Amino acid sequence: MIIPEGLNSKKSIKLKSRNKQKKEEAQRLKLNSITDLFNNFYFHQYGKERWPNLLSSLKGPSKSCAMINKFASNVSISEFIHDSKSSNNSDMMKVDYLDVECYVSDSKFPKPKKDEHNILNVYHLDLASIMVTKALDVQPGDIVLDLCAAPGGKSLAILQHLLNIVDQREGENEGRSTRGMLIANEINNKRFHRLLQVIKSYIPFKYHQDHIKLVKNSPTLNYSYDKILVDVPCSSERHLITDQNELSKWKESRSKIFSIKQYNILLDAVKALRINAGWNYKWLKETMDGKSVKKLNLDGSFCQINVMVMAQCILQF
């Protein structure tokens, strides 16, 4: 019996179509199952009232934030503000409760531009990164470590504080040095070079030698610091929620592994604090809660522990 060639072709197409539908259905069921596991995991972490609010915020659009670089010329900064108001940022608002000048908007801000001295005028980052640098309460002469520094936004925010103090206290040498320094650490080579480029593009060269040191080894082993900012690697829930492909790979063990990694990084940071130093740890996840963090206050250490829930501040804003 001879089957017409066209009939074979149609059967083949139908078979491929059915296989494709089965594959898509299997993927859909798998994603639904993982989504349920994901929500149940964080439901038990945050509670029935808090998790739905957090989930809604994570799914929603995030505000754009632009930090003004105080080292750029006034003309360049004025042009940025003018261009922002003239474009799609009619709703832009200055964040008055922060010492560093920054603005937020529902729309994207214009790209950074170089001034006449080749210094970029603005840096785009999330508002929380600026908030944590304010909590450091940088003082004259402080030696500050940004432990996980790349891409560089938090380091820039710290330098807005630190170098402003340096400028105000220039020439004073009474008692403890008031020069101050930021040590910015990043172990990943690619991210380290990104950090280096950011510092070069935003901070005048005259500050580089005496007030800024970029490292990619273990800065907590042989040195001690007055203030340490630890932005530990996170499990990126916002990214997972908005990317189905990434969410399909999620496992509960992933969040727990990140929690252990965070704990170990924080442990190194506590050991590197000077006597009577204070430190702040901001976290968005309950897998590394306040009780766990306070365990880091080791016997024999002389550090004050101040644990703050950063998520509450962000949601209030």
The residue from 65, 102, 303, 313 that is catalytic is 313
Helix (H, G, I), strand (E, B) or coil at 167: helix
Q: Does pTM surpass 0.85?
A: no
Asked whether residue 148 is marked as a ligand-binding residue, the answer is yes
Q: What tens-digit pLDDT sequence spans the chain (317 residues)?
A: 555 555 556 666 666 677 778 787 888 888 889 899 999 998 988 888 899 998 888 888 888 999 999 999 999 999 999 999 887 777 899 999 998 999 999 999 999 999 999 999 999 999 989 999 998 899 888 999 999 999 999 999 999 999 987 666 555 555 444 579 999 999 999 999 999 999 999 999 999 999 999 998 877 777 889 999 988 777 778 888 888 888 888 888 888 888 888 888 888 888 888 866 655 555 544 454 555 555 555 444 445 555 544 443 443 34
Find, among 167, 162, 82, 71, the residue nearest to 121 by Cα: 71
303 part of the active site: no
Residue type, 199: I
Asked whether residue 152 is marked as a ligand-binding residue, the answer is yes
Cis peptide before 204 (omega within 30 of 0): no
Residue 84 exposed, middle or buried by CB count within 10 Å (0-12, 13-18, 19+): buried
Which residue ranges form the domains of the chain, and what is each CATH number? Answer: 137-316 (3.40.50.150)
CA-derived radius of gyration, the chain: 25
Which residues sit opposite 213 in a β-bridge?
A: 183
Asked whether residue 4 is marked as a ligand-binding residue, the answer is no
Asked whether residue 300 is marked as a ligand-binding residue, the answer is no
Is the separation of the CB atoms in 310 and 128 below 8 Å? yes
Pairing of strands 93-94, 102-105: antiparallel
Locus of tokens 């016997």: 299
Is the separation of the CB atoms in 306 and 280 below 8 Å? yes
Asked whether residue 65 is marked as a ligand-binding residue, the answer is no
